[in-house]
Amino acid sequence: MVRAMTDLFQNARKPAEPSYSAQDIEVLEGLEPVRRRPGMYIGGTDERALHHLVAEVLDNAMDEAVAGHASRIDLDLAEDGTVTVRDNGRGIPIDDHPKYPGKSALEVILTTLHSGGKFGGAAYSTSGGLHGVGLSVVNALADRLSVEVARDRQLWVQNYSRGAPLGPLAAQGPVQNRRGTTVRFHADPQIFGEGARFLPHRLYRMARSKAYLYRGVEIRWSCDAALLEPDSTTPAAETLRFPGGLLDYLTAALKDRGTVTPVAFAGEAAFAGEAGRVEWAIAWPDDDEGFCHSYCNTIPTPQGGSHEAGLRAALTRGLKGYGELIGNRRAGQITPDDAVGDACILISAFIREPQFQGQTKEKLASPEATRLVEQAIKDRFDHWLSGDPNASRTLLDRLVEKAEERARRRQAKETARKTATRKLRLPGKLADCSRNAADGTEIFLVEGDSAGGSAKQARNRETQAILPLRGKILNVASASLDKMRANQELSDLTLALGCGIGRDFSAEKLRYERVIIMTDADVDGAHIASLLMTFFYREMAGLIQDGRLYLAQPPLYRLTQGAKSVYARDDAERDRLLKKGIGGKGKIEQSRFKGLGEMPPAQLKETTMDPAKRTLLRVMVPDAKDPEAREDAEHTRSLVESLMGRKPELRFRFIQENAIFARDIDV
């Protein structure tokens, strides 16, 4: 880059000034980052970025106008793509810059990066001390740029190319009745491509919106007629001046659409303590096609930010307050979305050193703007509402209606969403765990609602689900498939587990890591447990093979001696404990749980459900595919058949042969 500059200087008009060119190489190094990474400064090199160059120059002229020093701005687009912007302000200062002796302030402004640039650095300001920001970026990205300053009856000119001066600032002689700055530039095709063209329509709209945003300025737009399509709505020349400001803008934007209130809410208010001001124009259209265009210091903020937040707060609070005032109870539910969502809004804030934020710096971040805007607008809105009670009531009714409609839609959407999830297809009585993944979760199959209730209280909601099974569970060993499917308890169980049955069984779909049968420690409990095990054995054998089925071990007795309590699973364990003693003082109290439902949840948790303290029995069957276990597997199959199947004589024989066991459980 430095070499390229040296070449450039050999072509410069006054190559005989060595000190000048030496300094200039330094300057170019200063702008080199802009040419190297234009995206950092103008958000890309596309059409949008190209037009951003004009916005930067126009913003500087607008700053001079908003500061009260310029009343007129000209914007011209020539056939070769050269853009000229002129203001009648004070003219960029041309005296020596204090920090760079021998160099004009103008040249420093055009060749030095200020505050990091709009898209690169954190902060970016216009107006209030940082006048001229952005001109250097445009200069860096223009293959030709000239600045003219008319100041103190003198005209000064300096030409640049790709950020480098082609010569010193030169006096062009005296001028009469002229003051201000003119910047003329041509976008560098090396940066934007050979085919890059400014679109007249975009520049015209940009100029028009600036004119709306500052009523004190007149913008004269012109464009070479050859650039306009025959049917273009863009004029070749137009003087843009809108004494009505944003209200004119809103009226033009609404064209002939009807609005809810006859008069728009529009105005202008200064912030407390000379911190700036805000202008706004708002109407609620009949057709609900709202928009919100916000600006800060005439710079568009399409992503909103703090000034928009302040406006939303003012409107929402104003409408709710007015509703309260006139006794409209339904107004309480109005949200900011209801208040401003369908409104046509123009808001323009002027603040001293605005902070922009976001990917493309299109959002106002200055936090104080929220409060300032809200305070400035709120009183005026209250006043506007009470000024036309009929109109305000109509507006309020309309917004309340929309709020209710929105709430209904939200509700419907919510229901639709729930229906779409697996949750709603789950049985209603399942108390599911909150964890979605199966890993680390378990489902307790519990007999009856009262046991189910205790279990729900005793569980860990995140990982433990409870399915209370009431009514008779079918004996599946003797039931037909149809009958089994018709059984409510079994179909609930199948739904809850999610893994399907029979040929449809799929182990990966099991919704829990473990399935735990938790029945009372009595004969009925044992019966239900065996019915369930039979069901699993016949319909979800894979689940047992995978070692996922368990039996909980709830206690039958609690023995208390003074402050000490222990639990016993059965008579034998109780007797053993009574004999051995439990280490407390005084008489041992014995209580027998009639069912799990009777056990306080804390005890149920401690003895049976808490993974840290409980014991579970894993239900296992010998694997028929394992040759070593084939005989056992066959035995199991015939055992299940004899116990649970159709032939009562087999069951009878088993009970006879295993009488001890039968008596043991049949207390």
Active site residues: 447, 520, 522, 524
Candidates 38, 117, 120, 132: give the one binding ligand 28G (CB under 6 A): 132
157 contacts 389 by C-beta, under 8 angstroms: no
Candidates 12, 82, 89, 492: give the one binding ligand 28G (CB under 6 A): 89
Q: Closest separation between CB of residue 132 and ligand 28G, Å?
A: 4
Q: Closest separation between CB of residue 134 and ligand 28G, Å?
A: 9
Residues 177-216 that bind ligand 28G (CB under 6 A): 181-183
By C-alpha distance, which of 297, 328, 296 is closest to 311?
296
494 contacts 553 by C-beta, under 8 angstroms: no
Cα separation, 453 vs 468, in Å, equals: 8
Q: Element (H or E) spanning 344, and its range?
A: strand 344-351
| Residues 444-460 as b or e (16 or more Cβ within 10 Å = b) | bbbbbeebbbbbbebbe
Determine, following the binding rule CB under 6 A, whether residue 148 of this chain makes contact with ligand 28G.
Answer: no
Determine, following the binding rule CB under 6 A, whether residue 454 of this chain makes contact with ligand 28G.
Answer: no
Q: CB nearer to ligand 28G: give 155 or 640.
A: 155
- Amino acid in position 74: D
Q: Closest separation between CB of residue 89 and ligand 28G, Å?
A: 4
Q: CB nearer to ligand 28G: give 53 or 246.
A: 53
Residues 90-129 that bind ligand 28G (CB under 6 A): 90, 92-93, 105, 129
Cα separation, 481 vs 485, in Å, equals: 6
Give phi and psi for 155, each to the nearest 5: -110, 130
**Which residue is at the shortest CB distance from ligand 28G?**
60
Q: CB nearer to ligand 28G: give 12 or 58.
A: 58
Q: Closest separation between CB of residue 121 and ligand 28G, Å?
A: 18
Give the binding range for ligand 28G (CB under 6 A) out of 53-61, 375-383, 624-632, 655-663.
53-61
Q: Closest separation between CB of residue 119 and ligand 28G, Å?
A: 20
Determine, following the binding rule CB under 6 A, whether residue 18 of this chain makes contact with ligand 28G.
Answer: no
Give the binding range for ligand 28G (CB under 6 A) out of 29-37, 56-64, 238-246, 354-362.
56-64
% helix, strand, coil for the chain, step of 5: 45, 20, 35
Decide: helix, strand or coil at residue 267: strand
Q: Element (H or E) spanning 221, and its range?
A: strand 218-223
Beta strand 72-77 with 218-223 is: parallel
Q: Which residue has the tokens 């790709």?
A: 162
Q: CB nearer to ligand 28G: give 50 or 61.
A: 61
Q: CB nearer to ligand 28G: give 160 or 536.
A: 160
Q: CB nearer to ligand 28G: give 131 or 208.
A: 131
Cα separation, 94 vs 102, in Å, equals: 11
Give the binding range for ligand 28G (CB under 6 A) out of 131-139, 232-240, 241-249, 351-359.
131-139
**What Rg value do the Cα atoms of the chain yield, rounded?**
41
Cα separation, 331 vs 4, in Å, equals: 68
Candidates 103, 118, 131, 538: give the one binding ligand 28G (CB under 6 A): 131
Two structure tokens written together for 167: 């010569």
Q: How many residues bind ligand 28G (CB under 6 A)?
A: 19
Two structure tokens written together for 647: 């032939």
Q: CB nearer to ligand 28G: give 145 or 309.
A: 145
> Footprint of ligand 28G on this chain (CB under 6 A)?
57, 60-61, 64, 85-87, 89-90, 92-93, 105, 129, 131-132, 135, 181-183
